[in-house]
């Protein structure tokens, strides 16, 4: 079976990494940074994003609890593809941060190409994603989607995908979705 996973917000805690960066750099903002779009809704967002991406922060984001162990376990039985909306020039930093993860492929494709690459090239059986518009798009493309429900912005996505509360639930959800795929074929 082919499994594809997003990185930021699913495997790695990008939001906390960004919050830590803004605190360290004494960059103030007027909204709750834990809400979706911490960079998109940020004053001078391109400048701040570039500042965040140009440092070592992308190499040092923390894994969500058990994500590394669970994905490495799944990678022993399934083909695991990792796709990030980061721009291709950030791929070396992403590889460094994911150096302990066993995967078949890693691609940083940019925000505009992520959906197309996943749907048309990778064609996964199961997708792990946290961005609401992509969850819906992958669902409409016939891909079984699993998403982390610990983000405020994923609320209500259960109409398109299967939520998980922590990574320890993922192997069972993959197995359940695998059976659905087998029954369909």
pLDDT category of residue 106 using cuts at 50, 70 and 90 = very high
Statement: the pTM of the whole predicted model exceeds 0.85: yes
User: What is the rounded CA–CA span in Å between residue 21 and residue 31?
Assistant: 16
pLDDT for residue 176: 79
Q: Is the model's pLDDT at 185 over the cut of 50?
A: no
User: What is the rounded CA–CA span in Å between residue 123 and residue 129?
Assistant: 14
Q: How many CB atoms lie within 10 A of CB 31?
A: 11
The DSSP code sequence of 11-61 is TB-HHHHHHHHHHHTT---SS-TTSS-TTTTSTTHHHHHHHHHHSSGGGSP
């Amino acid at each position: 079976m082919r499994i594809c996973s997003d990185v930021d917000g699913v495997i790695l805690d990008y939001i906390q990494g960004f919050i830590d960066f803004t605190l360290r750099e004494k960059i103030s903002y007027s909204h709750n940074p834990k809400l979706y779009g911490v960079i998109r809704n940020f004053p001078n967002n391109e400048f701040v994003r570039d500042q965040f991406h140009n440092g070592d922060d992308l190499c040092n984001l923390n894994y969500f609890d058990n994500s590394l162990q669970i994905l490495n376990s799944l990678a022993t039985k399934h083909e695991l593809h990792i796709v990030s909306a980061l721009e291709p020039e950030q791929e070396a930093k992403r590889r460094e941060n994911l150096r302990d993860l066993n995967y078949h492929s890693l691609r940083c494709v940019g925000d505009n190409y992520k959906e197309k690459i996943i749907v048309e090239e990778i064609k996964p059986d199961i997708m792990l994603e946290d961005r609401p518009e992509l969850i819906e798009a992958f669902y409409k493309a016939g891909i079984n989607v699993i998403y982390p429900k610990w983000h405020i912005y994923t609320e209500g996505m259960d109409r398109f995908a299967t939520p998980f509360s922590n990574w320890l639930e993922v192997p069972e959800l993959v197995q359940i979705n695998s059976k659905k795929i087998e029954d369909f074929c």
